[in-house]
Copies of this chain bind each other. A is one copy, B any other.
Amino acid sequence: MNHLQHWGETLRLLVELAGTAAFALSGVLEGARKRLDAVGIFVVGFLAAFGGGTLRDLLLDQRPFFWVQHVEMLWAVLALCLLAMSFMRRHHFEATLRGIAIPDALGLGLFTATGVHQALVMDMPALVAVLMGLITGVFGGVLRDIVCNQIPATFSDHQPYAVCAFVGGWVYAGAWQLGAPGWLALLACVGITAGLRWLALWRNWRLPAWQT
């Protein structure tokens, strides 16, 4: 049993690392596309990776931030940005988010679950908790796009992204209400969020558009 738990913890950590790396890379790619300099790319990568969780902690009035408690994650993102930039300079590669779709979707699910969990622990109403999950998962990318001076892609590319996190967040809140064990709620939230996201990408689902 202890053995299993240990494996679960390791898996969770791996998903967290992969998700954070994918979020940071989405910032690096966006910054490179907008021709930011090295400082700008690091800031945008940092915002994409930690901005959502930081905004959630600000709103919930929680300290210390994730990246203060685990300052090694800051160093890791800093190193990742430097690596990605030196790689981009040499290989002239097409800036694309497609290559990081899998870890990005996993990260979206995990971050959403973390946000919902923290709000539920603080006895927030379910809708607020789900919004906190959404903010954790999605607002890193929103802040990234605001700094890059464009309408947040999540709100304008008409691909389901935040919607997947919204559904996954309700799954987590529901499992919590039903008294399910933590690992099950987490697994269900990540599975459904990431699964919906992959389905949406694969089947090319579109959110409704307005004829104004």
Please tell me if A121 contacts chain B, counting CB pairs below 8 Å. no
Q: How far is the CA of A88 from the CA of B209 in the complex (A)?
A: 11
Complex copy number for this chain: 3
Write out, one digit per residue, whether chain A residues 101-129 have a CB within 8 A of any chain B CB (1) or not (0). Answer: 00000000000000000000000110110
Interface of A is mostly: helix
Task: Check A35 against B128 for contact (C-beta < 8 Å).
Answer: no
Please tell me if A4 contacts chain B, counting CB pairs below 8 Å. no
Write out, one digit per residue, whether chain A residues 37-52 have a CB within 8 A of any chain B CB (1) or not (0). Answer: 1111101100000000
Q: How far is the CA of A163 from the CA of B36 in the complex (A)?
A: 14
Please list 23 pairs of residues, one from A and one from B, whose beta carbons are closer than 8 Å in the complex, sorted by A's number: A32-B210, A34-B151, A34-B156, A35-B209, A35-B210, A36-B156, A37-B158, A37-B208, A38-B207, A39-B161, A39-B207, A40-B156, A44-B155, A61-B61, A61-B63, A68-B128, A85-B210, A89-B211, A95-B212, A146-B146, A147-B152, A148-B151, A149-B150
- Given A75-B127, A146-B149, A149-B151, 6 extra CB contacts under 8 A: A37-B158, A38-B208, A39-B161, A43-B162, A54-B59, A85-B210
Top 7 closest A-B pairs, CB basis? Answer: A40-B155, A37-B207, A71-B125, A39-B162, A149-B151, A37-B158, A36-B155
